[in-house]
Structure 1
Amino acid sequence: MAGEGSNPTPDRPDGPPPELSREVSQWRVAERKRLIDQRLAMSADERTARTRTIAEGLDRLIGAPQGRIVSLYWPFRGEPDLRQWSEKVIAAGGRIALPVVIAKAQPLEFRLWAPGEPLERGVWNILVPSGGRVVEPDIVVSPVVGFDSANYRLGYGGGFYDRTLAAMRKRPLKLGVGYAGARLATIHPHSLDIPMDAIVTDE
């Protein structure tokens, strides 16, 4: 889910892993700010065009979504807005779920949702389904602040996606999405980071 904390670069709720050094923690904070500022500086038209290319990449990777549950996210702070693509998934026989923060240091909950169904403000003011059956998605599409060539994602620092993926009973297809300019040489991953199966960008 976009917005994994009460500010753009929150500390991990249960504290950073012991092997994450102070230098790396500070570097991550600085990179998050730089990359978020970078995408917010894009015009709305540029973000729309880049998001369209990302959606085409998702289509190629996922193929026919019929009968599958795809977890998306509510866009936040200039992230690719895939809400229009979600309508295409539903039209092709797939279903959409949105992540919901239940509590600090706990896995996310995925709730089925379709455009037009009621939403409410959740933790940190992010829109989440008011109802919707709780499910485990077949495909998890998660936004990245940054990413590296090993498919590790730099998120907002809350650790929610990593914690959730580690707790899921079935192994979903894990796809990160972001703009190509968010590529880093490395995010300096630690033991709790879980790599994506692929990162889809506008390139």
Structure 2
Amino acid sequence: MTLTDLKSAARKAAFAARRSAFAAGQGAAADLLAAHLAPHAGKPLAGYMPMRTEIDPLPAMAAHRGPVCVPVIMGKGQPLRFRQWTPGCAMVEGEFGAFIPASGEWIEPEVLIVPLVGWDSRGFRLGYGGGFYDRTLEGLRARRPTLAIGFAFAAQELPEVPIEPTDQRLDAMVTEQGARFFA
């Protein structure tokens, strides 16, 4: 089986787990995420606008004491850029249906809440397959320390995410069951 086949099978399993977990509710996940982010007050934070059955980081983003931004896809094969977000700001539909601020300052985050399809106990994440976060994290981490915090349902944990050399490891994972840290 090829790496592409392995990732496809892992995505299918993780999407099914996420749908079931989403139906059950997110519980205290946003509160746990906000508590995990509290020591990073003042640092630029990148969150994301939840789509479909993704776990919702918006309450934690709104509680952050510091600038908050969300990703903007600039094009295939390019790293993400991040535009300032505030609760209630004007939003427009961006690539893949994700909402982005209609205007605002471009911000380089130091802390990122990273969406994902699946994750494993080693700290690797399975994304949607475009490589946007891996490319972005690699670039940010080359310039300065950058913290990547995965945010998902505990049910999205996989036995092992199939990885390749370009995959970036998460520093921590926050679910409705708590936080895990990776070395």
With normalisation by structure 2, the TM-score equals 0.88
The reply to whether residue 128 of structure 1 matches residue 100 of structure 2 is yes
Structure 2 CA distance for aligned equivalents of residues 37 and 106 of structure 1:
29
Task: Give the residue type in structure 2 aligned to 1:167.
Answer: G
- Counting only pairs closer than 5 Å after superposition, residues 9-158 of structure 1 correspond to structure 2 as 23-42=2-21, 44=23, 46-49=24-27, 52=28, 54-89=29-64, 93-158=65-130
Secondary structure of the residue aligned to 2:2 is helix
Secondary structure of the residue aligned to 2:45 is strand
Deviations 1:34-68 (A, max 9, x none): 22122223465x3231xx2x223323433344322
Is the alpha carbon distance of 1:139 and 1:35 closer, same or farther for their aligned partners in structure 2, counting shifts above 3 Å? same
How far has the Cα of 1:101 moved from its partner? 0.1
Structure 2 CA distance for aligned equivalents of residues 181 and 100 of structure 1:
28
Structure 1 CA distance for aligned equivalents of residues 159 and 36 of structure 2:
24
- Equivalent residue number for residue 166 of structure 1: 138
Is the alpha carbon distance of 1:38 and 1:184 closer, same or farther for their aligned partners in structure 2, counting shifts above 3 Å? closer
Q: 1:189 aligns with which of 150, 155, 163?
A: 163
Q: 1:176 aligns with which of 150, 161, 170?
A: 150
Q: Gaps spanning 5+ residues in structure 1: where?
A: 1-21
Structure 1 outlier segments of 4+, above 6 Å: none
Please report the RMSD computed on the Cα atoms of aligned residues, expressed in angstroms. Answer: 1.7
Deviations 1:85-117 (A, max 9, x none): 22222xxx2221000000100000011110111
With normalisation by structure 1, the TM-score equals 0.80
Percent identity of paired positions between Structure 1 and Structure 2: 33
Count of aligned pairs between the two proteins: 175
